[in-house]
Amino acid sequence: MPAAPAGTLYRGREGMWSWVAHRVTGVLIFFFLFAHVLDTALVRVSPDYYNRIMDTYKTPVVNLMEVGLVGAVLYHSLNGLRVMAIDFWEKGPRYQKQMTYAVIAVVLLVMIPGTYFMMQHTVEEMFGSTT
């Protein structure tokens, strides 16, 4: 009988990291949606206060957070499809490692140019027009 591993049973392999990232992105998306519902509800309470809140969203920090939100939604949705493939495709468990790397590759392929285009206006505002 093999000896029980010392410490935690967590191994840190692809499946576990994708599980952690899926939970984290899900929580981040939930909090965004919660904040979005609250700030949108302000328009009925006080249109002036709503406009002031919207003005605070036009900052470079919030623009960077928007990039993070897009990345979180993209990863969470693609990883959800991967999880469904593992659950419902008979060969899914056999290919879960390759599917994990495929999800990461697609997220990077979309987010690298996507970040450039999403941040372009903010960078131009901060450092002047590049054209």
pTM of the model: 0.83
CATH architecture type of domain 15-120: Up-down Bundle (1.20)
> Could you tell me the residue ranges of all domains in the chain?
15-120
pLDDT (0 to 100) of residue 125:
83
pLDDT (0 to 100) of residue 63:
92
Report d(CA 80, CA 115) in Å as an integer. 22
Q: For residue 36, what are the CA distances in angstroms to 32, 54, 55, 57, 86?
A: 6, 11, 14, 11, 32
Among candidates 56, 74, 64, 70, which has minimal Cα distance to 121?
A: 64
| Grouped pLDDT means (10 residues each) for the chain, 131 residues | 59 84 97 94 91 90 95 98 95 93 97 94 80 57
